[in-house]
Amino acid sequence: MQKDLLLMIEEQKKLLKIQSELLQSKNNELLKLKEVNLHLESLSFHDGLTGIPNRRNFDESIKVNWKNAFREQQPLSLIMIDIDYFKVYNDNYGHLPGDYCLILVAKTLVSNIERPIDLVARYGGEEFIAVLPNTDKTGALFVAERMRKSIEKLAIKHEHSSIADCVTISLGVADIIPQPSDSIADFIRSVDNALYLAKQEGRNRVSYEGNLKIKPKQVTLSKKVANSNLKCSSRQASIH
């Protein structure tokens, strides 16, 4: 009788061990599945080419930061960036150098923001956008000009640009302390207008939303601009 009891206890121990191993294996599978899902979610919020946040990420970020700025009545700034004559660059140097140029510009723009709360995202094509919470006009213009200079210093060769012998960017800046009558759509439209003005005034420059005295669609862009003789560093980064 005692021997049978000992055998039963031994069998139960084996069963418990098997159950414990199965449970641990299941937990490991769940953890791996969670890691995969997190990775996939991260990919959905990042641009496949440049690796920086994408348009979807920006859309979520601006909603959150808009609510915070409205609640706290603190300034919120946007910087919209466009690579000057990028289509011409792509057409003449090819898509692979064009992709590398986008990656290099994206990484350089990101390197110009220092706070975890700031965001630089690829907005679409050769356009990028930066969200700067708790930042007014002065701070946003400072960051924008730093971005402009950093891209110029890369000295990526662009012989087909009408304004320089290297890749440059144009930037529009807008800031706001959101009020009940304001909207995110109008805010984005204002920074887009500022970018348009930077292009109209000659590119490779920063324009502020408050400088707008015209409706952008009424302006005809000239093909040649005043600073077309700009020379970049002689240590040019050739990527083709």
Q: Active site includes 126?
A: yes
Cα distance between residue 112 and residue 116, in whole Å: 12
Where does residue 136 fall: left (phi above 0), alpha (psi -120 to 50 degrees), or beta otherwise?
Answer: beta
How many CB atoms sit inside 10 A of residue 165's CB? 19
Active site residue: 126, 127, 152, 159, which one? 126
Residues labelled as active-site residues: 126
